[in-house]
Structure 1
Amino acid sequence: MVLKTFGWSFAVTALGLVAAVLYGGWTGFGVVAILSVLEISLSFDNAVVNAGILKKMNAFWQKIFLTIGVLIAVFGMRLVFPVVIVAISAKIGPIEAVDLALSDKNQYKELVTDAHPAIAAFGGMFLLMIFLDFIFEDRDIKWLAWLERPLAKLGKVDMLSACIALIVLLITSMTLATEAHLHSGPADKAQTVLISGVAGLITYMVVGGLSGYFENKLEEEEEREHEEEEQAKAKGKEVSAVKLAGQAAFFMFLYLEVLDASFSFDGVIGAFAITNDIVLMALGLGIGAMYVRSLTVYLVRQGTLDDYVYLEHGAHYAIGALAVILLVTIKYEIHEVITGLVGVALIGWSFWSSVRRNRALAAAEGKADTSDDNKAEVQSGV
């Protein structure tokens, strides 16, 4: 089951790591490995959401999502999107950006270094909004309860996330951007960071708006189907579990692609905090994207979602850490290995917390069962 589901992912991993060694030596190997783990970690909760929605679709649309969807995810968002970001930021054509990355690494590095403050401001704001919206939402399951409870109460204030993000952006543009490595004056540097940060906020809001639109469409379709089922039951007709197809499945497919695109922003933008090399970036993120798709298939085929409830929290705290790191790198240089290990450490901590929680729950259930058995024995003895 595991080999059948993850076989292609294992093959892509082997080829990707070999390509990384040939391209960038063992340093390239390490960067690609970190990027792969980062992408899987940040997109883990996306795979869980995908599985919950994908199981409602019929076999045809599941196949469409797992074939065409993979092409869009791996080659579109993880390969083309980083090139587009560099091209826009450095004000060069996409083909020229790829050519420079492969042929003239020194000039490409200079262009990316000059464009880095804009990329960091854009990505930092996008990731920061994701993190803030998460921690300000009141959730039934809390990982760091001492922190998440008061933040959930603050989250009842409307537009708090956007206000905090804008304040952070203003402070960043007036402090960290004043000595950023740009070929322009201080005023232009601050303006570049400010405009790029606002663009990141707008991008987040557009992606969120599209996700909300498709989600509302799906809810309307599910309500309509539920009403039809109730009417059929009232007439004494048998109601079979029919998976979504047609227009409903099409909207669901679009919704899943928008979700995947939003999480791709996380991985791609977060990757700029680790490396500026688009080849290593494409290899690492492509490997990670394959595992996310395989994990989605695995969850659907198993018919159950993962029990590690704190992983989503750990992934979002890693997003928050990446956002801060990106903003700091506008002025200061932070080694990519440190950046990658911060995210991996948070994910590992949340995973271990989930394991401990599951063990504690199992132990409590075992004690309860033992207590019930003892009571039954006493009563029967009486």
Structure 2
Amino acid sequence: MLKTYGWSFAVLIAGLVGVFIYDSWEALLLAAILVVLEVSLSFDNAVVNATVLKRMNDFWQKIFLTVGVLIAVFGMRLVFPVLLVAVTANLGPIEAINLALEQRPESDPTSYAAILNEAHPTIAAFGGMFLLMLFLDFITSEHEEYWLPGERLLAHAGRLNGLPVIIAGTLLVVAAETFAQDHETTVLLSGLLGILTYLLVKGLGDMFNIDEEDSDDEREHVDPTAEAASGATHGAQHMAGAPARKGPNEVVRVGGKAAFFLFMYLEVLDASFSFDGVIGAFAITYDPIIIAVGLGVGAMFVRSMTVHLVREGTLNRYPYLENGAMWAIGALAIILIVSIEVHVPEVLTGLIGLAFILAAFASSVARNRRDPEHAHVNAG
């Protein structure tokens, strides 16, 4: 536990002490609340991250825990909102920072929070479509475990090429024409960009995974003993299941360009999750420093949770967790799209995601009790 969560607890202590020195005990309490908010909203993100991270080699896992953390904590929770305000309000970076530090109330249309809220439809459309594509790509592909009734039928329907794009595109047009009429063009363009970003990152990842598989086959032909050391490779069914060398406990592993694009995929996924948390944080405080510290520390714990799930083999022991996380992401995608015009409480968003995860966990436990031999094989 200390090895996995040590840095997160260290950053937590440093962050809370820093916030106390920056302001007061009240600021420390607000930052602590934001840490809990970020972790509770992002547990499904940790599960999905783990399905991807376990397929990276040790080097890229370390990159995810170092460079990835810097991007998540400072990039998405601090720098990105400021840049977004600067672009939206046509301000310089310094002016945007000064505006953020002024802490004007959200009722002031020139305030930092109000400008971020004004940009919400753009981000919600992009993030909603990206997450929806992730969900649809999973649910319309064949996978090892089927959880909810109808999943197998949806996977069978996925044999129709391009079905996720058809569904996502149709939903985007409906959303823009119905409850996003005030900013129809913005929503359409942002949503389309979200779909294209998913397809681009996934396509590049698949392409380089195939190249790595071919390289592995060539090396195995030269040195037959390498096959015993590295294991065979297999095809991907969705983004988190890219072809690569298998490691211990049948966990597939990738490196090089394939791992780089999986890393980029994780960062875009984190961005899709994080902005909604930034907007929700303004219900607690308008201070961007407290928000950045609280959500940043929370992001550190989500990273640690991801590593914990990988190292403990939790996804192997509880086979429906990935399905539950994907359904939670599907629900979040719909909520983001709806939130373009209708405010959805962050607590409700977190509870829906948590409900899917807990239900999937309970189903996994029941499955393991019914079939102990299957559970033993997965755990091993």
Q: CA distance change for structure 1 residues 331 and 156 in 2, over 3 Å: closer, same or farther?
A: same
Equivalent residue number for residue 182 of structure 1 = none
Equivalent residue number for residue 163 of structure 1 = 166
Equivalent residue number for residue 42 of structure 1 = 45
Deviation at residue 364 of structure 1 after TM alignment: 8.8
Q: Distance in 2 between matches of 1:362 and 1:279?
A: 50
Equivalent residue number for residue 349 of structure 2 = 339
Equivalent residue number for residue 259 of structure 1 = 265
Q: Distance in 2 between matches of 1:226 and 1:304?
A: 31
Match of 2:365 among 355, 370, 375: 355
Judge conservation of contact 2:38–2:299 (CA < 8 Å) in 1.
no
Q: CA distance change for structure 1 residues 64 and 112 in 2, over 3 Å: closer, same or farther?
A: closer
Q: CA distance change for structure 1 residues 66 and 321 in 2, over 3 Å: closer, same or farther?
A: closer
1:230 is paired with a residue whose SS is coil
Equivalent residue number for residue 320 of structure 1 = 330
Q: Distance in 1 between matches of 2:336 and 2:152?
A: 27
**CA RMSD across the alignment:** 3.6
- Aligned ranges for residues 142-221 of structure 1 at < 5 Å? 142-144=146-148, 146-178=149-181, 186=182, 189-221=183-215
Judge conservation of contact 1:123–1:270 (CA < 8 Å) in 2.
no
Q: CA distance change for structure 1 residues 299 and 152 in 2, over 3 Å: closer, same or farther?
A: closer
TM-score normalised over the length of structure 2: 0.76
Deviation at residue 134 of structure 1 after TM alignment: 1.2
- Report the more deviating stretch, 118-127 or 64-73: 64-73
Letter in 2 for 1:172: A
Deviation at residue 113 of structure 1 after TM alignment: 2.2
Deviation at residue 268 of structure 1 after TM alignment: 2.0
String of CA shifts for 1:27-67, please: whole Å, max 9, x gaps: 66444313223334213232243234325x6xxx7655544
Judge conservation of contact 2:50–2:310 (CA < 8 Å) in 1.
no
Deviation at residue 311 of structure 1 after TM alignment: 1.4
Q: CA distance change for structure 1 residues 54 and 356 in 2, over 3 Å: closer, same or farther?
A: same
Judge conservation of contact 1:86–1:97 (CA < 8 Å) in 2.
yes
Deviation at residue 155 of structure 1 after TM alignment: 1.0
Letter in 2 for 1:328: V
Q: Distance in 1 between matches of 2:351 and 2:167?
A: 26
- Report the more deviating stretch, 264-273 or 291-300: 291-300
More helix by share: 1
Q: Distance in 2 between matches of 1:33 and 1:232?
A: 46
Match of 1:116 among 79, 104, 120: 120
Q: Distance in 2 between matches of 1:155 and 1:8?
A: 42
- State whether structure 2 residue 220 is matched by structure 1 residue 226: yes
Equivalent residue number for residue 103 of structure 2 = 104
Larger Rg over CA atoms: 1
Q: CA distance change for structure 1 residues 51 and 289 in 2, over 3 Å: closer, same or farther?
A: farther
- Report the more deviating stretch, 92-101 or 114-123: 92-101
- Aligned ranges for residues 24-39 of structure 1 at < 5 Å? 29-39=32-42
Q: Distance in 2 between matches of 1:326 and 1:27?
A: 25
Q: Count matched residues.
A: 343
Judge conservation of contact 2:73–2:299 (CA < 8 Å) in 1.
yes
Q: CA distance change for structure 1 residues 201 and 22 in 2, over 3 Å: closer, same or farther?
A: farther
Judge conservation of contact 1:40–1:288 (CA < 8 Å) in 2.
no
Letter in 1 for 2:277: A
Q: CA distance change for structure 1 residues 49 and 361 in 2, over 3 Å: closer, same or farther?
A: same
Q: Distance in 1 between matches of 2:211 and 2:294?
A: 34
Letter in 1 for 2:350: G
Deviation at residue 322 of structure 1 after TM alignment: 1.1
Letter in 1 for 2:57: L
String of CA shifts for 1:74-126, please: whole Å, max 9, x gaps: 43455434444554455544544443333234311221222222222122111
Structure 2 unaligned residues grouped into runs of 5+: 106-110, 232-244, 247-253
Deviation at residue 162 of structure 1 after TM alignment: 1.0
Judge conservation of contact 2:219–2:226 (CA < 8 Å) in 1.
no
Match of 1:329 among 332, 336, 339: 339
Structure 1 unaligned residues grouped into runs of 5+: 179-185, 234-238, 367-382
Q: Distance in 1 between matches of 2:178 and 2:226?
A: 65
Q: Distance in 2 between matches of 1:292 and 1:221?
A: 34
Q: CA distance change for structure 1 residues 214 and 271 in 2, over 3 Å: closer, same or farther?
A: farther
TM-score normalised over the length of structure 1: 0.75
Deviation at residue 228 of structure 1 after TM alignment: 2.8
Letter in 2 for 1:166: G
Q: Distance in 2 between matches of 1:302 and 1:6?
A: 13
Q: Distance in 2 between matches of 1:291 and 1:4?
A: 13
Deviation at residue 302 of structure 1 after TM alignment: 6.0
Deviation at residue 294 of structure 1 after TM alignment: 3.5
Q: CA distance change for structure 1 residues 49 and 194 in 2, over 3 Å: closer, same or farther?
A: closer
